[in-house]
Amino acid sequence: MSTRNALLIVASVLTVASAVAVAAEGPNLGRVATPEEIALWDISIGPEGASLPAGSGTPKQGEAVYTAKCLACHGENGAGKPNDQLGTLPGDKPPVKTVGSFWPYATTIFDYVRRAMPYNESKTLTNDELYAVTAYLLQLNGIIGEKDMIDAKTLPKVRMPNRDGFVTFTRGK
Ligand code: HEC
């Protein structure tokens, strides 16, 4: 190996070493998030509902939440307007793809509403309000009865009508 090549190797090793040192130190911006701050964002609930929180609600309790916090955008009985329709209306042709007619897992309603609704003040509902409004949407869609109580145990057991309506896509052979 020529001296020149050897010097080039030494130089590039030094460059890598100093890059690693910078990465370890970080760019010195902000601070490390606290476990409490991470917990606020770490709220995903899978289809099986494993991380559902404590709390419960019935469709009747949910109707009150809906009237106060959802109706203005989603209409009477989830009929929609100005925003998305949330209830299945018989005679919708073609059928409207919404919560009851399309979503395969009931746990997704809780997860979605918790992270995204009410649209103008997301992440403000309590867990009881979330269970209740989820129960109300399920009842509106004829999936549970008026007296059914929804909590971390019962929600994952609710079978959505379109559970088997999706085709599994596998890439390649
Ligand atoms: C300020 C208006 C507004 C309010 C209030 C509101 N929503 Fe929504 N909602 C929207 C909009 C807009 C969308 C569509 C969002 C998108 O597609 O990204 C939506 C979508 C949804 C969906 C998904 C519908 C689908 O089939 O894709 C659900 C479920 C839902 N809202 C539930 C609720 C519930 C429950 C409440 C009350 C706790 C609520 N929303 C309050 C505006 C609102």
Protein residue whose Cα sits closest to atom 25 of ligand 1:
98
Task: Please give the radius of gyration of the chain, using alpha carbons only, rounded to the nearest integer.
Answer: 25
Q: Beta-carbon neighbour count of residue 74 at 10 Å?
A: 24
Rounded CA separation 41/39 (Å): 5
Which value, to the nearest 10 degrees, does the dihedral of the CA atoms of residues 73, 150, 109, 69 take? 20
* Structure confidence at residue 64 (pLDDT): 98
How far is CA 34 from each of CA 52, 55, 102, rounded to the nearest angstrom? 22, 25, 38
Domain residues of the chain, as ranges?
Answer: 1-30, 35-157
CATH for 35-157 (3.40.109.10, 1.10.760.10, 1.20.140.10, 3.40.50.720): 1.10.760.10
Atom of ligand 1 nearest to the CA of 137: 35
Residue 8 tokens read as 């080039």
How far is CA 80 from each of CA 27, 30, 72, rounded to the nearest angstrom? 48, 43, 9
Rounded CA separation 71/51 (Å): 28
Is residue 99 lining ligand 1, measured as CB closer than 6 Å? yes
Record the pTM. 0.83
Name the residue of 83, 115, 134 to mutate for ligand 1: max ligand atoms within 8 A of Cβ.
83
* Structure confidence at residue 150 (pLDDT): 98
* Structure confidence at residue 80 (pLDDT): 92
* Structure confidence at residue 25 (pLDDT): 76
Residue 57 tokens read as 């609600």
* Structure confidence at residue 168 (pLDDT): 87
* Structure confidence at residue 141 (pLDDT): 93
Tens-of-pLDDT digits for all 173 residues of the chain?
555 655 555 555 555 555 555 566 778 889 999 999 998 889 999 999 999 999 999 999 999 999 999 999 999 999 999 999 998 766 777 778 899 989 999 999 999 999 999 999 999 999 999 999 999 999 999 999 999 999 999 999 999 999 998 998 888 86
